[in-house]
Homo-oligomer: A and B are copies of this chain.
Amino acid sequence: MYKLILSEGKARRGTFETVHGTVQTPAFMNVATSAAIKGGISAYDLEELKCQVMLCNTYHLHVRPGDKLIAELGGLHPFTGWKRPILTDSGGFQVFSLSSLRKITEEGVTFASHIDGKRIFMGPEESMQIQSHLGSTIAMAFDECIANPATYEYTVRSIARTTRWLRRCKDEMARLNSLPGTINKHQMLFGINQGATFDDLRIKHMKQIAEMDLDGYAVGGLAVGESTEDMYHILDVVVPYMPENKPRYLMGVGTPSNIIEGVARGIDLFDCVMPSRNARHGHVFTWQGIRNLNNAKYEKDMLPLDEECSCPVCRGHSRAYIRHLLKSNEILAGRLMVMHNLWFYNTLMERIREALDNGTFQQFREEYSEKLGTRI
């Protein structure tokens, strides 16, 4: 249940109640692909890093260790040790991005596992069943994520099918949630808006799925090849058609600036692999901009990664030490920088919420939206 507390312009401050606890929004969901954050971060670390929602990948967990095994063990919560909300994606994005061999029909998608090449079929029902096995708090609808640029004709056919798939997802989840052995009988379903970069198709599709009264709505198919301007334009166009009383999730986005701009356009939830992926390459986010720890200037720098940060890493380690670890290919380098970056993202959301609470979000946006993307 989403509750809007206040607005500033289009930006929203709210709460989202789930069976696994309440999420303060806007919020960033921390990506734990195979039920672990890349870089050696556990569910217990996430608690320390102010994470509110963990996101796990249905496709990865389906192929390994298998969703049925996780179901036997009680679902993702006891499996990972994470006690708060978990969102699972539908597997659709990975099916379309990781699999070279795939065939789409009305029923669903046949594709080759990226691990052993085995042929796998996944459609709306299969995706819902897998996510039900995982016992996540929020399941995402099975959709086709169209890569940009796409043709108008293809997009028309694709979004029509995605809408038909969404109805099947809703029906299947209702059936699964009513079964006696289901792990989370209160599992929620978010619908996903598609439509490539076509304003009219985005709006048309959003109107269609809004009618289905789902638990939340996502904007998908962005940050998949289009420009940042196009992405913001699509948000400007489509968000007004998203239900006000439901959480709005911008999938796979993005940089700190993207997030601030997303919030400014009415988005409540975000997720992205950027904080962990960039960290593993030595790029850390700070309140002054992005720092590249590979840079020789940090060789003797005993300051923390970010002097304005109070994360567990900045409380105890220097740039010089972390740079040494990075140059020595020590796993600890990645772990420390991932921890810092996740803390940074979760703190960014906290500061966005505080700014909204204080009616100063526009000031915050002006101060930080550009600054956080500069290289220092």
- Tell me which residues from 296 to 353 in chain A have a Cβ below 8 Å from any Cβ of chain B: 299-300, 302, 312, 316-318, 320-321, 324-325, 327-328, 330-336
For residue A38, CB closer than 8 A to chain B, the reply is: yes
For residue A203, CB closer than 8 A to chain B, the reply is: no
- Tell me which residues from 52 to 94 in chain A have a Cβ below 8 Å from any Cβ of chain B: 60, 64-65, 69, 72-74, 78-81
- Could you say which residues of chain B place their CB within 8 Å of the CB of A336? 42
Known: A317-B81, A324-B65. A330 touches B73 (CB 8 A): no
**In whole angstroms, how far apart are the Cα atoms of A299 and B79 in the complex?**
12
* CB closest residue in chain B, given A280: B331
**CB of A329 to closest CB in B, whole Å:** 9
Contact A328 B64 (CB under 8 A): yes
Contact B36 A316 (CB under 8 A): no
- Could you say which residues of chain B place their CB within 8 Å of the CB of A36? 325, 328, 330-333
Contact B334 A40 (CB under 8 A): yes
- Could you say which residues of chain B place their CB within 8 Å of the CB of A81? 316-317, 321
Contact B40 A335 (CB under 8 A): yes
Query: Which one of B42, B43, B324, B332 contacts A42 once the chains associate, using CB atoms below 8 Å?
Result: B332
Contact A320 B79 (CB under 8 A): yes
For residue A35, CB closer than 8 A to chain B, the reply is: yes
Contact A41 B332 (CB under 8 A): yes
For residue A22, CB closer than 8 A to chain B, the reply is: no
For residue A37, CB closer than 8 A to chain B, the reply is: yes
For residue A110, CB closer than 8 A to chain B, the reply is: no
**In whole angstroms, how far apart are the Cα atoms of A41 and B39 in the complex?**
12
For residue A287, CB closer than 8 A to chain B, the reply is: no
**CB of A43 to closest CB in B, whole Å:** 8
Contact A73 B320 (CB under 8 A): yes
**In whole angstroms, how far apart are the Cα atoms of A175 and B316 in the complex?**
33
- Could you say which residues of chain B place their CB within 8 Å of the CB of A317? 42, 81
* CB closest residue in chain B, given A79: B321
**In whole angstroms, how far apart are the Cα atoms of A74 and B300 in the complex?**
11
Contact B332 A73 (CB under 8 A): no
For residue A255, CB closer than 8 A to chain B, the reply is: no
- Could you say which residues of chain B place their CB within 8 Å of the CB of A78? 302, 318
**In whole angstroms, how far apart are the Cα atoms of A300 and B70 in the complex?**
8
15 A-B pairs with CB atoms under 8 Å apart are A34-B328, A36-B331, A38-B330, A38-B331, A40-B334, A41-B332, A43-B316, A44-B312, A60-B328, A64-B324, A65-B299, A65-B320, A78-B318, A79-B318, A81-B317
